[in-house]
Amino acid sequence: MPVAVRTIDDAALDDLQAAGASVVVPEAIEGSLMLASQTLALVGVPIRRVIRLVQDQRVARYGLLRGYFHGADDDSVDELELQRLQSITLEHDSVCVGQTLDASLEQRDVGVTVVSVRRAHGAVMSPAPSLRLEAGDTLVLSGRPQDLARAESLLLKG
């Protein structure tokens, strides 16, 4: 299970990530983003530009959430082109069990990125191409919806 942690600041960022935190959200950064956005709006910066600036900062800070911070003009965005996160848990009969990540996905260039791999016992593994997949692994993938669907099919059915 991914672990999201809220902290006051970044002081213990490395320790929290080493202990298994998937994402760390420092209150000081979020508060600063809100203060900056309010200040920019007060001095006349167009709200769409303010939202875009804040969005860019969040994407840079919270890479896992790329594609989830939408702007004021969401209704003009093609939802099929936005990046999503999807978790896929491998069963014993999944065809990719025993294969490496490289053989399962990366050599096939399906258009997704493996963000993390969590073993059944809870250990988080680096998504290296040589990592051998096991039953019970949960892969967190990032990609467009159609690419995620193709990757899921390849991982589970071949």
Q: 53-71 as b/e, with b when 16 or more CB fall inside 10 Å?
A: ebbebbbebbebebbeeee
pLDDT value of residue 80: 58
Task: Specify the pLDDT at position 107.
Answer: 62
Average pLDDT rounded to a whole number, residues 46-50: 85
Q: Identify the weakest region by mean pLDDT among 95-99, 124-128, 149-153.
A: 124-128
Give pLDDT tens digits for 60-114: 776 554 444 444 444 445 555 667 778 889 999 999 999 998 888 766 778 888 8
The residue with greater pLDDT, 73 or 139, is 139
Residues 96, 36, single domain; the answer is no
Closest to 151 in 3D by CA, of 98, 108, 119: 108
Least confident of 16-25, 62-71, 121-130: 62-71
Tell me the backbone φ, ψ of residue 26, rounded to 5 degrees.
-80, 125
CB-CB contact of 83 with 141 (8 Å): no
> Are 102 and 151 part of one and the same domain?
yes
- Is the same domain home to 122 and 70? no
- The reply to whether the predicted model has a pTM over 0.75 is no
Q: Which of 27, 43, 76 is where one domain is finished?
A: 76
Average pLDDT over residues 135-151: 89
Tell me: do 22 and 57 sit in the same domain: yes
66 and 93 part of one domain: no
How many structural domains comprise the chain? 2
CATH, residue 123: 3.30.70.1450
Last residue in a domain, options 57, 76, 95 = 76
In a shared domain, residues 20 and 71: yes
Q: Do 127 and 63 form a contact (C-beta atoms < 8 A)?
A: no
Pick the last residue of a domain from 76, 109, 130.
76
Question: Is residue 137 within 8 Å of 118, Cβ to Cβ?
Answer: yes
pLDDT of 71: 46
Q: Closest Cα partner for 65 from 102, 115, 112, 106?
A: 115
Regarding whether 116 and 59 lie in a shared domain, the answer is no
Residues 34 and 70 in one domain: yes
The range of the structural domain enclosing residue 31 comes to 4-76
Whether residue 142 sits in one domain with residue 91? yes
Same domain, 65 and 87: no
Cβ-contact 49, 36 below 8 angstroms? no
Q: Indicate whether 59 and 91 sit together in one domain.
A: no
Tell me 108's DSSP state: G
20 and 56 fall within a common domain: yes
